Every structure is written in C-alpha cells, then in structure tokens.
Amino acid sequence: MYSDKVMDHFSNPRNVGAMENPDGVGQVGNAKCGDIMKIYLKIEDEVIVDVKFQTFGCAAAIASSSMATELIKGKTVDEALQVTNKAVAEALEGLPPAKVHCSLLAEEAIHAAIMDYRMKGDGSVENIKSCSGCCNACGMNEVETEHDEVG
Amino acid sequence: MKKIYFDNAATTRVKDKVVESMLPYFTEIYGNPSSVHGIGRDAKRALDTQRAAIAEMLGAKPREIFFTASGSEADNWAIKGVAGANAKKGKHIITSSIEHHAVLHTCKFLEGRGYEVTYLPVDSYGKVSVKDLEDAIRKDTILITIMHANNEIGTIQPIAEIGEIAKSKKIPFHTDAVQTVGTIPVNVNDLNVDMLSLSGHKIHAPKGIGVLYARSGRVGDNLLHGGAQESNKRAGTENIPYIVGLSTAMQMALENMELNTTRTKAMRDDIISFVMKNIDYVRLNGHPVDRLPGNVNISFEFVEGESLLLMLDMKGICASSGSACTSGSLDPSHVLLATGLTHEIAHGSVRFSLSDENTNEEVKYLKEVLPGILKTLRNISPLYNERKVR
C-alpha cells in the first residue's frame, strides 16, 4: 500500500519535535478529520536553518511532514514556498490516491509557518497560500470511497 | 518475524481439522446433490447430514437451515426477503445504529424503495435499550433486526428480551449472530429469534459459507432465483465441502466452548487491565461485562489508528482500527461515533480480537511492545504535547 520511502519516513521520521522560540509556526488540519500538522521554522537571513514538525495522523501524514521538512531545510523562504504537494508526494515515491491530501497538508503547513514568520516581520504575504483549516480543502469529500469493512 | 494474529473478528485461520474434513468433498464425493446417480446421492447424503447437525447445534430443525455464500448474504436475504413479502402489511423496519454494514446498507437500500427505518441509538457501552425498542414499534412494523454482538466493540445485546417483545407483538425478529455463533451459546429458542445469520470464516471455517436460519422455514422472498436448491428458496448448487467445513468448525467450537471462553476471556482481561494501568489517556470501548470473550477495543488519545496499526504490524502484530484512515472514508467508525465518542478519540481506536489459537506468550509480547509504540507516536503528535493535564 505504501512505498518503501513512506515507510522509511514513517518509521524514522526526520526533524520531529517542538522548537524553542521559532521564527515561524504553522498548524493546519484538525483532529476531527484525523490529521494535524505543525511546522516550526528557524530562519536566519531568509534561510531556513532549522525546521521541526509534529503530526497527528496516519503514516502518510507523518511521512509527508517528515519529507516536507527535509525538502525545505537549508532553502530560502522563497524557495520553500515553491515546494508543492506534488514535490512532497514524488519525493516519497508516490502516495495512494486516498492519501494525496496528506501531501497537500504538508504544503499548507509550510505556507502557514512562513505566513506566521512574515506576519511577524515585514508583513509581505505574496505567494503564500492560506489553508482553510480543514482537509475538506483538498476536495477529499468529493472522492469519498466506500467503507471497506473490517469485521 | 513471527506473526501474532489479533484480528479474529475480521477473519480466522481455517483449522487443520476443518480443512481435513472438507478435502474428500472436493475430489471424491464431488457430486451435485441434485443428481440422481451415486456420486450425487453421496453428496446429497452429506448435505442432509450436515444440515441436520448444524440445525441441532442451533436448537433448530433441518428445514429451517438455509445455506448461503456469506453472512452478508444471509443478512441481505433476511431483511429484503421479509420486507418484500410483507410490503402490503407495512413498510417499517427497526434496527440499531451500530449494525454491520450488511444490515445498515440493506436498510438504506430499502429506504430508497419506500420503506421507513428506525435506527435505535445505543448507550455509551453500545447497548440498545429494550424500552426504546418497544417504543419504536408501530402498527406497520414488519421487521426488527438487531445484532447479537457487535463486531467492533464486542457489546452483547439483550436479544432474548427483545425477542420476547417481538414475539408478543408478532413481529418477525432477525439477529446477525456472525460474531457469536461458536463463541458464546446461541440457541434460536432461548434467544426468541425468528431468523439468524451466521458466517463460517469467523469461527475457523473458510470464507464463502454462511447460514440463514428461519423459523418454520419462512424466509420471505427469494434473494437468488434459479434452481430448486434449499427448498426452492435459494438457487445455486450447494457448496458441499464448505458446508462440511462449517459444520466441523461449529462442532469443534461447541465442544471446546467452555475452555476457549475461559482462556480467551483471561487474555482479553489481561490486555485491558494492562493498558488501563500502564498507558494514560485511554478509553475502553464497549461494555465492560456483556462483551465478547475475545474483544478488546481501546481508544488511545492523541494518536491515529492507522499509524498505530502499522507500528504494531512492524512488530508482527495484526490488529484493526476504527479510524477513518483505515476505513477508506473520511469518518471514523459509525459504531464508535454512535457510542458518543468524538471523532478525535474514535480516530485513535484499535481492536484486538482474540481466538482460542492465541497464547499468553503473544499477549505478553503485545504488552512489551505497546507502551513503546504509544510513546513514539505520542512524541510525534502535537496534541499529546499540548494536552491539558487532567
């Protein structure tokens, strides 16, 4: 069901944890939907020098967060904004169709953290996507699949 | 790695003795029971013998036993059959909100065909109130269908009491006993049921065989039309090897029920009390006493069920979850939500379902690895870190 890369990042997630005095924090998703991602950024001269995450969710959500932190670490803020959900999913060697929204959540978490950073700074928020706060945003409701019975 | 199978409510391993009992009916006594010749007559004899044996084990008569291809088929047939045959009398059906989808989705289907369905609520333990049920009965009620025990949380319903009421009101009463036959005593007369569904693969027989019991052979409309099999009520050549396998599995389950129940219950209670004592922010789902001997269902707050299942799987432990991520839909289990659980807590539910094939060593191993897995996942979870200390 999951690629080896997803299982690797799920069982050995990179950059897990909270951060003291972050320059930007973003949290997206909600517990009702079963996915919450929180990303912390340490930024020096517009470069992301450190990043941490905490995620409540399935293996795909945890792996997507882990991969997203790896993809933006060391990048400039503007470069980080270019990291799409597609890039996250590709770096994970693909996600099952029902789990693509997890990679979108990762992209949104990056944007939310950078939004927080910018709002504290010069207030420039161009190119930053805002998240609606719930996984409905990714359109998953429309492709809701039949309940696969267990038992 | 050795696999530990704690998912017996999903399906079970077919017992070696069951397989052995089936084998001659594939290669030697392979006839069609409807045939006139010797090989056909031998198959017919096996069919009659096993039907009588299964009937006896349920306290029923042979002509009240109808073989189906699954528990789901039996549920569909019971409900659609009665609904169709009684459409002129009334179109009201009573069921519960925690039924298996084989019942719930059949009821939903009938709602689209002009039937009205009352879905009784359950309490926080997953029990239907007999009073609620009595109050829901109307003049046009043509069927009551309530499951014997729930597949997810293991709660056992007061079926005999409900049956008493149904009998006094002369309303046909069906129960889905897929989780109970072979696990706890099931006698159609003690339970006061008119119809009962059971399935082979939950009790160490193969997948693809089920039974619908119907009092006096009254099943309402046919679900499958065709040949004259099963007293003209269910077409399709009888699956003799699987029927033999089901009968063997039921016999084995019945012979060992007392011992199996004692052993399984002890393992169940061991897991539950260990988790309650050693892991914080947990909730036992289902009834503490009136519960299946092999059912453990626990919500672990701040973690998501699929993650937990995959971590357990990496340690060789097979279990299942009521989380949305494992269900393929956005909502967690309808059963857990019906007991009043929030979405958040339902997402973190895990079911361990035991059978007589599990051992104390396996339980010991689960107890060794579970706290570490919870610790790992909760360390990743922002919710655990931000929890309000209670």
* Over residues B38-46, mean pLDDT: 97
**Which residues on chain B place their C-beta less than 8 Å from a C-beta of chain A?**
9-10, 100-101, 151-152, 179, 302-304, 306-307, 310-311, 314, 320-321, 323-330, 332, 342-344, 347, 351, 353, 379-383, 385
Question: Is pLDDT above 50 for A146?
Answer: no
What confidence category does residue A123 fall into, taking pLDDT thresholds of 50, 70 and 90?
confident
* Over residues B26-53, mean pLDDT: 97
- DSSP codes of every residue in B110-163: HHTTT-EEEEE-B-TTSPBPHHHHHHH--TTEEEEE--SB-TTT-BBP-HHHHH
pLDDT at B330: 66
Q: Which two tokens stand for residue B154?
A: 């293991």
Is residue A131 one of the residues assigned to a domain?
no
* Over residues A118-136, mean pLDDT: 67
Q: How far is CA B325 from CA A144, A149, B256, B331, B344, in A?
A: 11, 13, 37, 8, 12
Helix (H, G, I), strand (E, B) or coil at A30: strand
* Over residues B113-138, mean pLDDT: 98
pLDDT at B387: 82
Minimal Cβ distance to A56: which of B302, B329, B343:
B302
Question: Is pLDDT above 50 for A140?
Answer: no
At B355, phi and psi to the nearest 5?
A: -135, 180
B327 and A148 within 8 Å at the Cβ level: the answer is: yes
Q: Which amino acid appears at position B16 of this protein?
A: D
**Residue with more model confidence, B192 or B390:** B192
pLDDT at B326: 64
What pairs with residue A25 in β-bridges?
A40
Q: How far is CA A62 from CA A115, A125, B326, B377, in A?
A: 22, 27, 15, 10
Q: What angle do CA B204, B210, B216 make, to 5 degrees?
A: 130
| Chain A stretch 3-32, residues whose beta carbon is closer than 8 A to a beta carbon of chain B | 7, 10-11, 13, 16-18, 27, 31-32
pLDDT at A135: 40
From chain B, the residues in CB contact with A58 under 8 A are 304, 306-307, 323, 325
Domain of A35: which CATH number? 3.90.1010.10
A31 and B328 within 8 Å at the Cβ level: the answer is: no
Question: Is pLDDT above 70 for B328?
Answer: no
Helical H runs in A84-135? 85-91, 100-120
Please state, in angstroms and rounded to a whole number, the distance separating the CA atoms of residues A107 and A37: 10
Q: What percent of chain B has pLDDT over 70?
A: 97
Question: pLDDT (tens digit, 9 = 90+) per residue, A14-50?
Answer: 999 999 999 999 999 988 888 999 999 999 999 999 9
What confidence category does residue B331 fall into, taking pLDDT thresholds of 50, 70 and 90?
confident
Is residue A138 one of the residues assigned to a domain?
no
In total, chain B counts a number of residues equal to: 390
Under 8 Å CB-to-CB from B63, ≥6 apart: which residues? B217, B231
Q: Is the ipTM of this complex over 0.90?
A: no
Question: Is pLDDT above 70 for A150?
Answer: no
Rounded to the nearest integer, the mean pLDDT of chain B is: 96
What confidence category does residue A130 fall into, taking pLDDT thresholds of 50, 70 and 90?
low
Of the listed ranges A137-151, B115-129, B132-146, B352-366, the least confidently predicted one is A137-151
Is residue A53 one of the residues assigned to a domain?
yes
B330 and A148 within 8 Å at the Cβ level: the answer is: no
Is residue A12 one of the residues assigned to a domain?
yes
Please state, in angstroms and rounded to a whole number, the distance separating the CA atoms of residues B138 and B134: 9
Using DSSP bridges, classify how beta strands B65-68 and B210-214 pair: parallel, antiparallel or unpaired: antiparallel
Is residue A16 one of the residues assigned to a domain?
yes
pLDDT at A1: 86
Question: Is pLDDT above 60 for B263?
Answer: yes
Looking up tokens 């030697």 gives B28
Please state, in angstroms and rounded to a whole number, the distance separating the CA atoms of residues B58 and B228: 25
Is residue A144 one of the residues assigned to a domain?
no
B383 and A32 within 8 Å at the Cβ level: the answer is: no
B331 to chain A: closest CA residue: A33
* Over residues B64-91, mean pLDDT: 98
How many domains, in total, are found in chain A?
Answer: 1
Of the listed ranges B15-19, B31-35, B123-127, B386-390, the least confidently predicted one is B386-390
Indicate the domain borders of chain B: 29-255, 257-380
Please state, in angstroms and rounded to a whole number, the distance separating the CA atoms of residues B269 and B261: 12
The residue of B325, B355, B369, B376 whose CB has the most chain A CBs within 10 angstroms, and thus the best one to mutate to test that interface, is B325
CB B175, CB B191: distance < 8 Å? yes
Q: Which two tokens stand for residue B375?
A: 């610790």
Question: Is pLDDT above 80 for B390?
Answer: no
Question: Is pLDDT above 90 for B5?
Answer: yes
Whether B325 sits among the annotated catalytic residues: the reply is yes
* Over residues B4-13, mean pLDDT: 97
Domain B29-255 in this protein, CATH class: alpha beta
- Let me know if domain B257-380 sits in CATH 3.10.580.10: no
CB B336, CB B285: distance < 8 Å? yes
Please state, in angstroms and rounded to a whole number, the distance separating the CA atoms of residues B56 and B265: 26
Looking up tokens 């019945």 gives B254
- DSSP letter, residue B380: H
Whole-angstrom distance between the N-terminal and C-terminal Cα of chain A? 20
Q: Calculate how close chain B gets to A32, using CA atoms only, in Å.
A: 5
